[in-house]
């Protein structure tokens, strides 16, 4: 049996008429990094299609694990999960597949901000609500998604900048950017540069990966021999930068300070070991909150248009016990 929906993101108020055949995230199957998987689609489950943008970092892996743990058959969901491998075309295909499958909710973490107009319009025409996870979009489609959940990237960038302004106001900064066009890259850079822009001597994208962060830092060490600090848009790139700095015979955290965003265990361990100077958290573990939003949307409840996940910040006083207790 099928569901006929009236949803707030289409009409300005959320109302569901009936729900006999619902389905969502991980109905007993967690999926793989390369292929889509389905939990089997029992008639009383909420069916959700989730497109993760990739597995480019420890943060992303933790976020995926949190989603899969929340969207289980036991929790009332049937999940189809697709890893887009950091390619927008893969996400667009996945979303269209979700539409064809008649899922009840589509959730995805957009690789980049733009280029979603057509597929979001298709989801809207099919009356399937969309949850944006972690990253946002820029689109001409009117009211294209039901809700967004994730961190405040501008606040993260500003938090990092305020620490630098207080502790190293004369720093000569090289900025390791994330994937260009991603909302995390755009917003973190915007906020950080608004405070410390005059101190930035160069920029390059490390695409949120450790390997590319290392390569970008190797080039920066040659191009900007006077740099005294790296601001990295995520921990994985910062960890790659550490490798490059050490290979060049310099001491990370001392000769070249590092300020990063994420708060994954490896990044916080480097902070504890004095190789990173400051880390702003971007909490990836909120799969249960996404699942709760999905249930409310399908039930016809009103949800907030934006849910901001709580983040912290850490300096070198962090204890090993704090690191060991982290879930990611």
Query: How far is CA 4 from its chain centroid?
Result: 31
Report the sign of the C-alpha dihedral through residues 98, 104, 109, 114, in that order: positive
Length of the chain: 328
Longest CA–CA separation in the chain, Å? 67
**43 pLDDT tier (thresholds 50, 70, 90):** low
Q: Which residue has the higher pLDDT, 37 or 229?
A: 229
DSSP 8-state class, residue 37: E
Q: Is the pLDDT of residue 25 over 60?
A: no
Average pLDDT over residues 23-41: 37
| Cα atoms found within 13 Å of the Cα of residue 108, Cβ hemisphere only | 36
At 24, the pLDDT band (50, 70, 90 cuts) reads very low
Residue pair 294/105 in contact (Cβ under 8 Å)? The answer is yes
pLDDT digits (tens, 9 = 90+) for 220-269: 999 999 999 999 999 999 999 999 999 999 999 999 999 999 999 999 99
Phi then psi for residue 242, to 5 deg, are -60, -45
The torsion of the CA quartet 154, 111, 68, 299, rounded to 10 degrees, works out to: 80
Q: What is the pLDDT of residues 294-312, one digit of tens each?
A: 999 999 999 999 999 999 9
Distance CA 55, CA 85 (A): 7
Q: How many CB atoms lie within 10 A of CB 157?
A: 27
Strand order in the sheet with 257-262: 200-205, 173-177, 229-232, 257-262, 278-281, 313-315
Q: What is the pLDDT of residues 198-214, one digit of tens each?
A: 999 999 999 999 999 99
Q: Give the pLDDT of residue 108.
A: 98
d(CA 152, CA 156): 6
- Any residues with CB less than 8 A from the CB of 273 and at least 6 apart, and which? none
Quote the pLDDT of residue 328.
87
pTM, rounded to two decimals = 0.82
13 pLDDT above the threshold of 80? no
User: Is 21 a residue whose pLDDT tops 80?
Assistant: no
Count Cβ atoms below 10 Å from residue 308 Cβ, excluding itself.
12
Q: Taking Cα atoms as reference points, which of 281, 173, 273, 185 lies closest to residue 230?
A: 173
pLDDT score recorded for residue 289? 97
Kindly list the structural domains of the chain, giving each domain's residue range(s) and its CATH number in brackets, ordered by start: 5-150+284-310 (3.40.50.2300), 153-282 (3.40.50.2300)
Instruction: Enumerate the H helices of the chain as residue ranges.
Output: 8-11, 58-70, 88-101, 117-125, 153-167, 183-196, 210-223, 235-247, 265-272, 287-299, 320-324
Kindly tell me if the per-residue pLDDT of 47 is higher than 80. yes
Q: Calculate the CA 253 to chain-centre distance.
A: 26
Q: Tell me what pLDDT residue 327 has.
A: 81
- Report the alpha-carbon angle 169-261-174, nearest 5: 45
- What pLDDT is attached to residue 28? 31
Q: What is the pLDDT of residue 82?
A: 98
- Contacts for 85 with CB less than 8 Å, ≥ 6 apart: 33, 34, 54, 55
Which band of pLDDT confidence, cut at 50, 70 and 90, is reported for residue 29? very low
Tell me what the mean pLDDT of segment 302-323 comes to.
96
pLDDT confidence band for 155 (50 / 70 / 90) = very high
Mean pLDDT score, 48-57: 96
Specify burial of residue 34 (Cβ count, 10 A radius: 0-12, 13-18, 19+). exposed
pLDDT, one tens digit per residue, over 78-130 is 999 999 999 999 999 999 999 999 999 999 999 999 999 999 999 999 999 99
Counting residues of the chain whose pLDDT is more than 70, the rounded percentage is 87
Better-scored residue on pLDDT, 277 or 31: 277
Can you read off the two tokens belonging to residue 134?
């972690």
Q: Report the C-alpha gap between 126 and 99 in whole angstroms.
A: 7
Task: Tally helices (H) and strands (E) across the chain.
Answer: 11, 15
């Amino acid at each position: 049996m099928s569901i006929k929906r009236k949803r707030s993101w289409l009409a300005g108020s959320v109302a569901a008429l009936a729900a006999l055949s619902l389905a969502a995230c991980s109905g007993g199957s967690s999926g793989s990094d390369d292929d889509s998987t389905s939990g089997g689609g029992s008639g009383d489950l909420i069916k959700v299609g989730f497109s993760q943008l990739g597995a480019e970092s420890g943060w992303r892996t933790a976020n995926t694990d949190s989603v899969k743990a929340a969207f289980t058959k036991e929790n009332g969901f049937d999940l189809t999960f697709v890893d887009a491998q950091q390619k927008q075309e893969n996400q667009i295909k996945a979303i269209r597949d979700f539409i064809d499958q008649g899922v009840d909710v589509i959730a995805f973490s957009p690789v980049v901000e733009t280029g979603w107009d057509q597929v979001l319009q298709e989801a809207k025409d099919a009356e399937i609500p969309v949850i944006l996870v972690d990253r946002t979009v820029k689109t001409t489609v009117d009211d294209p998604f039901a809700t967004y959940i994730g961190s405040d990237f501008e606040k993260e960038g500003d938090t990092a900048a305020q620490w630098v302004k207080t502790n190293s106001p004369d720093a000569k900064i090289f900025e390791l950017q994330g994937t260009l066009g991603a909302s995390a890259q755009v917003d973190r850079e915007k906020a950080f540069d608004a405070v410390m822009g005059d101190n930035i001597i160069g920029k390059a994208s490390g695409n949120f990966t450790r390997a590319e962060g290392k390569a970008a830092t190797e080039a920066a060490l040659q191009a900007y021999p006077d740099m005294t600090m790296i601001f990295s848009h995520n921990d994985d790139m910062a960890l790659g930068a550490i490798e490059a700095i050490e290979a060049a015979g310099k001491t990370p955290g001392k000769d070249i300070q590092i300020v990063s965003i994420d708060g994954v265990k490896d990044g916080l361990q480097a902070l504890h070991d004095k190789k990173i100077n400051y880390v702003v958290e971007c909490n990836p573990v909120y799969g249960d909150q996404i699942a709760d939003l999905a249930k409310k949307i399908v039930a016809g409840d009103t949800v907030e248009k934006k849910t901001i996940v709580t983040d912290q910040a850490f300096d070198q006083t962090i204890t090993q016990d704090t690191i060991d207790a982290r879930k990611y």
